[in-house]
């Protein structure tokens, strides 16, 4: 009789990895059909619940997927409701602007409508004093051509808007030294930004971020840019 050492038996037994088991089950989808008892009796470790069957585990995962889908649906409904509310707010602003008879009235509408209905800290029109002939009552809205060019070159990166943080000199210029503003939307006014810019500030540092959609604000600025030449005379030496 030949004696076989246990070590020799172990050496001859193939090592089956988790990947081997996964590959086997994927290649044989009828395995649990032929071995139906395993579905109910095969114990599967489940943390606090101890061991559960495959059926129980699958049902629990299905319930979790359904719960996740319901949560996603609720989030989408909430986003849709917020978007609808936002659209209505901007639609009211658009309508009010078309009834403006002066730039100061336009500024008041922007401040009262946007700040009262949206969680924003500041809204300011800044008009290019090299383009428009600004009377004394409009001087608080004035921005020099040099300041305007510097901000556009620094923040706009060749585009027509900037979303993100602002600090230091630019923050003081656009909103005042003590304004509680930590993120901004800066929108160029005019086809080339020659009219000036609209500055909107939020106390929330994450409210305005690069890459955000600017559809509603872009439409707002197109309306403002259409109305400004009708409400404010321009200079001959416009830049």
CATH value at residue 137: 3.30.450.40
Number of domains observed in the structure of the chain: 1
- From first CA to last CA, the distance across the chain in angstroms is 107
Structural domain contains residue 80: no
Q: Which two tokens stand for residue 125?
A: 């029109």
The conformation of residue 235, written as its DSSP 8-state character, comes to P
Query: pLDDT value at position 131?
Result: 92
Within a domain: 162: yes
pLDDT of residue 237: 45
Domain membership flag for residue 21:
no
Distance CA 187, CA 184 (A): 10
Model pLDDT, residue 6: 55
In which domain, by residue range, is 105 found?
A: 100-231
Give residue 49's pLDDT.
Answer: 58
Q: Is 188 within a domain? A: yes
Assess contact for 172 and 201: CB atoms under 8 A.
no
Distance CA 90, CA 216 (A): 7
Reported as half-sphere exposure (CB side, CA atoms, 13 A), residue 61 has a value of: 8
- The pLDDT of residue 97 is 92
Residue ranges in the chain whose pLDDT is less than 50:
1-2, 237-239
Does residue 44 belong to any structural domain of this protein?
Answer: no
Is 10 part of a structural domain of the chain?
no
Q: State pTM to two decimals.
A: 0.66
pLDDT score, position 189: 95
- Whether 189 maps to a domain, the answer reads yes
């Amino acid at each position: 009789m030949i004696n076989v050492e246990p070590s020799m038996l172990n050496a001859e037994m193939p090592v089956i990895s988790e990947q081997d088991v996964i590959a086997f089950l994927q290649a044989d989808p009828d395995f649990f059909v032929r071995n139906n008892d395993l579905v109910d009796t095969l114990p599967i470790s489940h943390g606090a619940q101890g061991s559960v069957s495959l059926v129980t585990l699958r049902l629990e995962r299905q319930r979790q997927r359904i719960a996740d889908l319901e949560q996603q649906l609720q989030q989408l409904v909430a986003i849709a409701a917020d978007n609808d509310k936002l659209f209505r707010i901007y639609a009211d602003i658009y309508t009010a602007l078309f009834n403006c008879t002066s730039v100061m009235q336009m500024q008041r509408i922007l401040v009262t409508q946007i700040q009262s209905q949206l969680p924003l800290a500041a809204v300011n029109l800044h008009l290019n004093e090299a383009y428009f002939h600004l009377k004394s009552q409009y001087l608080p809205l004035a921005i020099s051509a040099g300041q305007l060019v510097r901000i556009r070159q620094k923040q706009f990166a060749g585009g027509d808007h900037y979303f993100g943080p602002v600090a230091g000199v630019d923050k003081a210029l656009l909103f005042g030294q003590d304004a509680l503003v930590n993120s901004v939307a800066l929108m160029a006014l005019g086809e080339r930004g020659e009219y000036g810019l609209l500055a909107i500030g939020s106390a929330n540092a994450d409210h305005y971020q690069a890459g955000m959609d600017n559809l509603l604000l872009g439409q707002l600025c197109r309306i403002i840019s259409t109305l400004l030449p009708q409400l404010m005379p321009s200079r001959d030496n416009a830049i």
